[in-house]
Amino acid sequence: MSAGSTALIARKSIRARWGRTLAIGFAITAGVSFVVGSFVLADSLRATFDDLFQELGEDVDLSVRSAQQFETDDARDPISVEIAEPIADVDGVAVVEPTLQRYAQLVDDDGDVITPAGGPTIGVSWLGDDGIQGVTIKEGEPPTGPDELAIDKATADAEGFDIGDSVSYITDVGRFEGTITATIGLGSGDSFGGAQLVALDLDTALEHFGADGMVDAIDIQVAEGADIERVQRDIADILPERTEVVTGEQVAQETADDVNQFVDVFGTGLLIFAFITAFVSAFIINNVFQITIGQRLRELALLRAVGASASQVRRMITFEALALGVLATVVGIAGGVLVARGLIFAFDAAGAGFPDTSTVLAVRTVVMAAIVGVGITMLSVIVPARKAGRIPPVAALRPEVGFVAMRTRRLVAGVVLTIAGGALFMVGLFARPGGTPGLITLAGGGALVLFLGVASLSSTIARPVTRAIGWPVQKLFKVPGALARENVARAPRRTSSSAAALMIGVALVSGAAVFASSLRSSLVDALESSVTADYIVTDRSFQGLSPVVSETLADVAELGAVTPVRGISGQVEGDTKNFGAVDPAAFEQLIDPDLRAGSIADLGMDELLVHTDPAGDLDLEVGSTVDVVYQNGVTGTLTVAGIYGDAFFGNWLISLDTLESVSTAPARDFFVIGKLAEGVAPAEGDAAVLAAMEPFPQANVQTNAEFRESQEAQINQLLIIITMLLAFAIAIAVLGISITLALGVFERTREIGLLRAVGMNRRQTRRSVRWEAVIVSIFGALIGIVLGTFLGVVLSLAVPDDVISQLAFNPSIIVLILVAAVLAGLVAALYPSYKASNMNVLEAIATE
């Protein structure tokens, strides 16, 4: 048996049917591009941040900072700037640079704050050229003294600031004015990751930022030739307690790791959607091969008749797919790199301000691309190739025999897959063997298997359902409508497989919609029942609110109760917990945390309110004691004063007094909540609060209703992002319907020719093809909605009641999906309907 001949025939076949080849190729390429793009983007960002922080820390040999008892996301406690002096005296120390980062925001000529597109607003201390941090001067001289400042070049360019301009900026402690002496950047970049930056000399920074003699860290460069390890030991010897000296490399690595955690989450998220796209492509490829094998039935039978073995025919089809898969993968890898570059460019344009990003195409990425591209193609072709092998030689003379031989038993397989998939999905979500990875693998894999099962089962209901969908079409468009309806119904298998890809896309969108609706209504419910505060003041600066904000609010006469919400992390029996701290008397009036035992207002020193879940886990009841080690090393014992059921503000609550007694860091507030005083009208209160917050642009004042809306908006935004990420898969699904339809038109050439011959005009022909596509799309969308709603409900039920307590459905989304399905059908029909209406009638009739 010759491999050469099957390869030749396969190659010729690819070349002869380039339109179809292109379409399949595109489906593979799209999936591969998305996968490669996700990897390249994440790898490139990771490499960029690694490089960036290494570069920034290049001159920093050692860094002194406060020690943490255990690893936590909390900011480290600041250290006294006075430590810098003895450190500078240590033998071998060349440069000592205390670093400080606080809130600062520029103000324009009209007195309004300038807010960057996405980033935080930061004030830093800067020694200028003598410094060892990676900040570089783009233009000008370093600021010195209380009347000078430098700002980042990106902001200067965007806002039209020049060197020599006078500008105001706001900090935690007030408003200051200075002259811009320099524009600065981070390494080679003009921006600091999209942040707005105000840089002052150290003394000015300490004063203007209200740092009270405390800095974040002290960076050190050792003299040339000095032994770094020795210097490190010597510095360690003179440091106060709870302070440590680490290498610059370690700091760079820790910072990079922190950032890369986000990159990883982001990359993994993209990758999930990339695989969904690839999965949808597989359906299209499978369907197209299936159909074309039917169309090439006589050709394949002829090959069998003249001596090709069944395995040679199988090999030929497989080789065709392989060649296509390899080619499309190569194109897909190139496309993926472009996608990644395009996204980086888009982020940059949106103000993320990445420094020069290298493009990293790892070997792993290429391997994954090959596995996905070639893999999905080969998997998609297994069944069609086996069917091709089953075509008997006699089908060259009697095609009907061949079609019978190609039939498979899909019903049994469909039922088995559907049940197995559904079971896996539920086991993954509810039983959760193997933790989070097990959950994702089982639930994700189960959903995929479920899709396969439903796709093959849907053919059994395709005929009645599409007839029902087609009924109004027939009523509306008479003969073309009737033809569209009949053409869809007469090939239920083809209808269901071409609708399958769209079904998956729609199922995911509608599943996400159910989940989001349930999440939203549960959240709204929780907010309504537990938050009695009238105002919620959140932080825009990403650095926490200064206590001055809550103090100012507490002084507003129109407000009755005000409390800041602060926090600290601490370990209880070796597990890290986040402790929230509030003013108990005010908190009781502002929040109803569904108290089960004890009381809030009585929460005193060294007392604790705990959520019922951890209370149950640790066997706590009112009066029990808990030993805590805080991140700063301070230890304490808390007595349980109450147990509550609503985890809206976390699981562990202490009083501000307790926090103050254990904390060694200046207070920063997550947010501040407040309530109108008795008898004050809301409009009056709004005006008073806004007036009080005027000097604090970093404080975002929202009324209860506004806060709720912004929370809902965030969930809606999430749904929109998910839908946008699924758009790729849905576009491929629409392409799939288009290809199937075009192949169907081609198959029915003679039939369409006949219809045209007996008087159907071009417009009617187009119409009939167009509505055929719409019926198929609606069919796919309907099954998708049903399946997606099921998935969404199961998913919502699997989420703890704290987060999702009730199911909610959004009928407007379903309507939207159906409208989109009609549009998708119309788009899919563009080419096939043109093709059908532009046939040469005589030639069409002569076609065998």
Partner 1 sequence: MTTPTPPPPPPAPSAADGPVSVAGSIAAAGTVDARKTYGIGDAQVHALDGVTVSFETGKFTAIMGPSGSGKSTLLHCLAGLDTLTSGAAYIGGTYLASLDDKAITELRRTQVGFIFQAFNLVPTLTANENIRLPMMLGGESGDTAWVDQVITTVGLGDRLRHLPSELSGGQQQRVAVARALASRPQIIFADEPTGNLDSVTGAEILDFMRRAVNEFGQTIVMVTHDPLAASYADRIIFVGDGKITGEMADPTTDQVIDHLKSWT
Give the residue with the Cβ less far from partner 1, 397 or 411.
397
Which amino acid, one-letter code, is at 289? F
Q: Which is nearer to partner 1, 310 or 362 (CB)?
A: 310
For partner 1, the closer CB: 395 or 656: 395
Tokens 């790898």 correspond to 43
The b/e string for 576-585 (b: 16+ C-beta within 10 A; e otherwise) is bbebbbbbbe
Give dist(CA 676, CA 409) in Å, integer: 70
The three-state secondary structure class of 354 is: coil
Compute the C-alpha angle 132/137/139, nearest 5°: 165
Cβ closer to partner 1: 318 or 589? 318
Give min distance, CB of 296 to partner 1, in A: 9
Q: Please give the residue ranges that form the binding site for partner 1 (CB under 8 A).
A: 1-5, 8-9, 12-13, 15-17, 298-299, 302-310, 312, 392-394, 396-397, 848
Of 312 and 357, which has the nearer Cβ to partner 1?
312
Residues 6+ apart with CB under 8 A from 101: 122, 123, 124, 125, 216, 543
Query: What 3-state DSSP class applies to 123?
Result: strand
Q: Residue 295 is encoded by which pair of tokens?
A: 């169309």
Cβ nearer to partner 1, comparing 8 with 687: 8
Q: How far is the CB of 308 from partner 1 (least distance, A)?
A: 5
CB nearer to partner 1: pick between 51 and 299: 299
- The nearest distance, CB 32 to partner 1, in angstroms, is 27
Do 125 and 202 form a contact (C-beta atoms < 8 A)? yes
CB of 330 to partner 1, least distance (A): 24
Q: List the Cα angle 118/123/125 in 5-degree steps.
A: 145
Q: What's the min distance (Å) between Cβ of 16 and partner 1?
A: 4
In terms of CB distance, is 308 or 526 closer to partner 1?
A: 308
Helices (H), 491-594: 492-530, 547-554, 584-590
Question: Which CB sits closer to partner 1, 13 or 183?
Answer: 13
- Pairing mode of beta strands 121-125, 535-539: unpaired
Residue 105: which H helix or E strand, with range?
Answer: strand 101-107
Q: Are 59 and 136 in contact (CB under 8 A)?
A: no
Query: What's the min distance (Å) between Cβ of 291 and partner 1?
Result: 17
- The least CB distance from residue 402 to partner 1, in Å, is 12
Specify the residue, 11 or 493, whose C-beta has the smaller distance to partner 1.
Answer: 11
Burial of 848 (0-12, 13-18, 19+ CB in 10 A): exposed
Q: How far apart are the first and last CA of the chain?
A: 32
The residues near 518 (Cβ < 8 Å, ≥ 6 apart) are 792, 796, 804, 806, 807, 808
Beta bridge partners of 245: 64
Residue 393 beta carbon to partner 1: minimum distance, rounded to whole angstroms: 5
* Minimum distance, C-beta of residue 309 to partner 1, in the bound complex (Å): 4
Contact between 191 and 185 under an 8 Å Cβ cutoff? The reply is: yes
In this complex, which beta carbon is closest to partner 1, that of residue 12 or of residue 475? 12
Q: Whole-number minimum distance, CB 2 to partner 1, in Å?
A: 3
Q: How far is the CB of 398 from partner 1 (least distance, A)?
A: 9
Rounded CA-CA distance 495/106 in Å is 61
Which residue in the block uniquely carries the two structure tokens 């591009």? 33
Closest CB to partner 1 among residues 324, 443: 324
**Residue 128 contacts residue 159 (beta carbons within 8 Å):** no
> How far is Cα 282 from Cα 35, in angstroms, rounded to an integer?
14
**Residue 354 Cβ vs partner 1, minimum distance, rounded to whole Å:** 50
Nearer to partner 1, 236 or 401 (CB): 401
How many Å separate Cα 335 from the centre of its chain?
21
CB of 395 to partner 1, least distance (A): 9
Task: List Cβ neighbours of 218 (8 Å cut-off, separation of 6 or more).
Answer: 63, 64, 65, 79, 81, 83, 84, 87, 96, 97, 98, 99
Tokens at 522, concatenated = 């549960």
Strand partners, 639: 607, 625
